[in-house]
Amino acid sequence: MSPVPVRPTRRTVLLGLAGGILSAPAIARAAAVRAVGGQTFGTTWSLTAAEGAALDDLGAGIEALFRRFDRALSPWRPDSEISRWNAAPAGWRAADGEFARVARAALDLARDSAGCFDPTVGPLVARWGWGPIEGSGEPNWRGVIVGGGGIGKARDGLTLDLCGIAKGRALDLAAGLVREAGLRDALLDLGGELVALGRHPSGREWRVAVEAPAPGAPAPAALRLPPGAAVATSGLRHQSYALGGRTWGHIIDPASAAPASGALRSVTVLGESAMLADGWATALFAAGDSAGPALARERGLSALFVSGPAAPFRLDATGGMEDHLL
């Protein structure tokens, strides 16, 4: 989540095939589609379905959902619920609804990833030039407790940055709205994170291309998405800079308190939840090009690791990801 003006997403770098982005344009044209969309969280969103589908009212509902989510969880808004919690001293503070749910999910992911995903690194992200969160002291996700209708912090200066998971949760909720409206076949895209509902109007599965890690390079891979699948990518394409002979990105390795280093260019995760795909993509990228694939295999995650300085990039697929490569 980030402020206007719209800019490329922090982590996710997937492109949907609604307009024939992959090869096989004849298939893409076999059934016409239409889309509605807008701007939110500093990026764009779209809902694509068969031509003739009633999308306008549904799109308005999705837009309203995203606005509510932004008011609760955007660290770029000083009036958001998360910003007020971050500014508060040590102790317990009431927190209802999505803030508490997403915070709990973030802490669960921190535990499951052995700290590779750490929602308390916001001040480090800001120190390296990528975020707005001010705080003090070392990151410590164990110092945050969710329960009893609130969220507590163990010390002053401890903050939460849920950007690595919150956008995925917003996408999951938007997918729920689409299902409730009775639309069976659609593709939801929020800043490159995707949820595939049903199938493409042509009858085949939805297809997406993983964006090239470097400008001018070809897409390193393409995926087919089974009905209900969610997919997210973390990478360096849009938020990184070169200095001192290496590339510095926005994804912090909690173990080193510095941007994740190594040969990795992007990590794509496929799963049933956009929130978990979002969070795990961040965690696996932070883990690095060696520990990341090992962690994915240990956890049974379908992931695609793209590494190397230039094309042809090296690909390492874990879990069932290889079955979804085109």
Here the CATH number for the domain that contains residue 130 is 1.10.3980.10
- Within its chain, how far is the Cα of 232 from the centroid? 5
59 falls within a domain: no
Q: Which residues are documented as binding site?
A: 164, 278, 282
In three-state secondary structure terms, 290 is helix
- Quick one: 46 and 185 in the same domain? yes
Residues forming the annotated binding site for Mg(2+)? Answer: 164, 278, 282
The pLDDT mean for the chain works out to: 85
Same domain, 309 and 223: yes
* Residue 55 clears pLDDT 70, i.e. is over it: yes
Shared domain for 311 and 191, answered yes or no, is yes
Q: Residue 187: is its pLDDT beyond 80?
A: yes
Mean pLDDT value across residues 129-154: 89
Lowest mean pLDDT among 59-73, 114-128, 212-226: 212-226
Is residue 279, in this structure, part of any structural domain at all?
yes
Give percent of the chain above pLDDT 90.
Answer: 62
The C-alpha angle with vertex 125 and arms to 102 and 303, in degrees rounded to 5, equals: 60
Reported as a single tens digit per residue, the pLDDT across 68-90 is 999 999 999 999 999 999 999 99
Q: Is residue 227 part of a domain?
A: yes
| CB of 186 closer than 8 Å to CB of 47 | yes
Judge if 172 and 201 occupy the same domain.
Answer: yes
pLDDT at 254: 84
| Calpha distance 219→216 (Å, rounded) | 9
Cα–Cα distances (Å) from 29 to 19, 23, 51, 173, 187, in that order, read: 8, 12, 12, 29, 16
Q: Has residue 212 been placed in a domain?
A: yes
Residues 151, 261, single domain; the answer is no
Structural domain harbouring 240: 14-54+165-324
For 275, the 3-state DSSP assignment is: helix
Q: Are 153 and 144 in contact (CB under 8 A)?
A: yes
Predicted confidence band of residue 273 (pLDDT cuts 50, 70, 90): very high
Angstrom distance (rounded) from CA 220 to CA 216: 12
- Look at the chain and report how many structural domains it folds into: 2
303 in a structural domain: yes
